Amino acid sequence: MSTTYRVMKIHDFGNSIFYRVACGCTDPDHEATLILEFDENNPKIMILTLYQRVVWGDWYYRGDKWFDKIISRIKTVFKILFKGWLELEGSMIFMDVDHVEAFICALQEGKNKLQLTK
């Protein structure tokens, strides 16, 4: 299995490898960027970063009334204003075993590269 099945290698910068991982729902807004970075000062350290666009919508789990949506937005603004952050979560759909295997292959490639730098 290679990283070509819904996992695309974007670039290899030597100490970092970038991949784009497609979501199984085929929406391009749901894809994620997987970054494997290696610390030049300590080659035993590998950093895994997963970037994914997460969207908060006021229509989820709220009433159909426009006033409820406005109140929900105001509450969210105050959470961000006073706490400085907002908790969100996202998910990635893996359609089949090959999709999962391609993701694992990308991680394995990063692991192999880490072992070569030791």
My answer on whether 26 and 77 are in the same domain is: no
How many domains does the structure of the chain reveal? 2
Structure token pair of residue 42:
């300590």
On the question of pLDDT at 1 being above 60, the answer is: no
pLDDT tens-digit map of 26-38: 777 778 888 888 8
pLDDT tens-digit map of 29-68: 778 888 888 887 877 788 888 888 877 776 665 666 778 7
My answer on whether 39 and 2 are in the same domain is: yes
My answer on whether 78 and 99 are in the same domain is: no
My answer on whether 42 and 5 are in the same domain is: yes
Domain that holds residue 78: 57-88
52 to 34, 70, 88, 107, 112: CA distances (angstroms):
9, 26, 11, 17, 25
My answer on whether 70 and 99 are in the same domain is: no
My answer on whether 72 and 102 are in the same domain is: no
What is the reported pLDDT for 78? 92
Report the predicted TM-score, pTM, of the whole model to 2 decimal places: 0.67
pLDDT tens-digit map of 76-115: 889 899 999 888 777 778 888 888 888 888 888 887 877 7
My answer on whether 76 and 39 are in the same domain is: no
My answer on whether 68 and 98 are in the same domain is: no
Kindly report the average pLDDT of the chain as a whole number.
Answer: 81
My answer on whether 98 and 61 are in the same domain is: no
My answer on whether 30 and 76 are in the same domain is: no
